[in-house]
Amino acid sequence: MFKPFALILFIGGIALLVAGFVSSESIASSFSKAFTGEPTDHAIWLIVGGVVAVAAGSVLGWRGSRE
């Protein structure tokens, strides 16, 4: 039951991570790094969301395979 949802979460998380890393290398993020030492909030939230989605997809996929 959880397998399709887990796979979608996992793939969506990978996509968010890629988008976050690409966004962290943007011009806006470069300016933000120059003044604050950190990338933009948008890039950070994309990366955090990607990590959470990948972790949730992995846990649901692992849990679904054990039942």
Q: Indicate the domain borders of the chain.
A: 3-66
Residue 65 has pLDDT above 80, yes or no: no
pTM exceeds 0.85, yes or no: no
Q: What is the pLDDT of residue 67?
A: 56
Please classify residue 49 by burial: count the beta carbons closer than 10 Å to its beta carbon, then call 0-12 exposed, 13-18 middle and 19+ buried.
middle
pLDDT for res 51: 97
Residue 47 in contact with residue 25, Cβ under 8 Å? no
- The answer, yes or no, to whether residue 64 has pLDDT greater than 70, is no
pLDDT tens digits along 1-53: 568 899 999 999 999 999 999 998 888 888 888 888 888 899 999 999 999 99
